[in-house]
Amino acid sequence: MSFDQLGLSDKVQAAVAASGYTTPTPIQEQAIPHVLARRDVLGIAQTGTGKTAAFTLPMLTILEKGRARARMPRTLILEPTRELAAQVVEAFEKYGKNHKLNVALLIGGVSFDDQDMKLTRGVDVLIATPGRLLDHFERGRLLLSGIEILVIDEADRMLDMGFIPDIERICKLVPFTRQTLFFSATMPPEIQRLVGQFLHNPVTVEVARPATTAANVTQMLVSSAADPAKKREVLRRLIRDDEGVKNGIIFCNRKTEVAKLHRSLVKHGFSAIALHGDMDQRSRMNALDAFRNGEIKLLIASDVAARGLDIPDVSHVFNFDVPHHAEDYVHRIGRTGRAGRSGTAITIAAPEDGKSLAAIEKLIGQKIPRQAHAPEGREATAGRREARPAPARPERSDRRDGQRPQPRKVEPSRPQPQAESTAHLPAFLLRPVPVKAG
């Protein structure tokens, strides 16, 4: 099937063709006709399968009719992070270049006044994080009574980040008659309850079993000691020894570990940059742009970057820390192997990570292949082999016929005469004396 069979407008099809796409992905092929038919849609698919275009393209077609009014956006798209929200803006700019639509982005770290000016002019598409959206609403700068389409993207990530109460409040503020599009990679019970509460007779579009990993991603588990310094050494060897590492995203569980690992890699000569929640928005976008453009080889990130980042050609993902939540593993390794490419995901695990690993393998329904030890260079291996002491020879047991071994008698050792020092003697006394035979 091609895009011209999905019912999209001519303007949208022209923009898609100009972007180089000819065949829709499964989630796009199944979801777009239902969105155009104004049905509520529950979309479940692996990350990296084209979910953004699955709602962006039909929304552009629908928005060709009508006009925005001041402070009353026509459509609302909710994203869990600033980076995801910014990427949706880029998608509308790319596919909506033949439209004259006003798009506004409401995220933290940006001036309220600049965002307010855009809302005053009228917005066709409002893309926001929940917190900043509610801030504008509570200030009386935003009305949600004109929303025609509500999109909740990366819903399970919203759950992880504690946004569900905000989502529930926002859903009650928008009109009851709106169309709701709900996308998620996993469907925990809390998300299923939200679906039942706010979607009306939705069409379920599921193109992969929830929480499955892409078949074109090679997974590997490497054991390491828990000491962060040892783990950093293992990571450096993994990066250096694999000639296929074109670039990579390295995930840590904590922002402090991101900063430490970044300093360590730069110190050892690696091209690396950090991305975490304490950075201001400009620095975060600059870091992403540098990595996306190939200026930087390694991106060290917390889970703020785990979901939805549209960087199509990432060769490797390294889990420096095993994620605490099993679902995060699926989203992390989904940063590689995108758009049909092959990828590699390597997880460094310490002995105390056993419980988290068991939860991950239960979720994905497979066992991650183990590599007993991280690869080492010849010098390191040889040095360790030379330094290894010879194993002690076990003593022979005197046990016979169930009897206790009798203690051996050990004679006291005689004191050995110690050689006296000759350093004080003159040289001629130390010369050998010739002895005649017979």
351/345 Cα distance (integer angstroms): 19
Per-residue model confidence as pLDDT tens digits over 61-98: 999 998 888 899 999 999 998 888 988 999 999 999 99
Tens digit of pLDDT for each residue in 172-214? 999 999 999 999 877 888 888 989 999 999 999 988 665 667 7
Among the listed residues 305, 306, 353, 296, the one whose alpha carbon sits nearest the alpha carbon of residue 328:
306
Q: What is the pLDDT of residues 299-323, one digit of tens each?
A: 999 876 555 566 778 999 999 999 9
Residue 161's nearest CA partner among 90, 99, 83, 87 is 83
Q: Which of 174, 320, 167, 164 is nearest to 255 (CA)?
A: 320
Classify residue 86 as exposed, middle or buried by CB count within 10 Å of its CB (0-12, 13-18, 19+). middle
Closest CA to 131 of 167, 176, 105: 167
Whole-structure pTM over 0.85, yes or no?
no
Q: Residue ranges of the domains in the chain? A: 3-206, 217-375
Q: What's the rounded Cα separation, in Å, for the pair 110 and 132?
A: 10
Are the folds of 3-206 and 217-375 the same? yes
CATH fold of 3-206 reads: Rossmann fold (3.40.50)
CA distance 228 to 65: 57
Q: How distant, in Å, are the alpha carbons of 193, 305, 360 from that of 271? A: 45, 18, 30
- What is the Cα–Cα distance from 45 to 238, expressed in whole angstroms? 31
Of 171-180, 359-368, 386-395, 400-409, where does the model show the most confidence? 171-180
By C-alpha distance, which of 352, 339, 156 is closest to 253? 352
| Token couple for 435 | 């002895």
Q: Looking at domain 217-375, which of 3.30.465.10, 2.40.170.20, 3.40.50.300, 3.90.870.10 is its CATH number?
A: 3.40.50.300
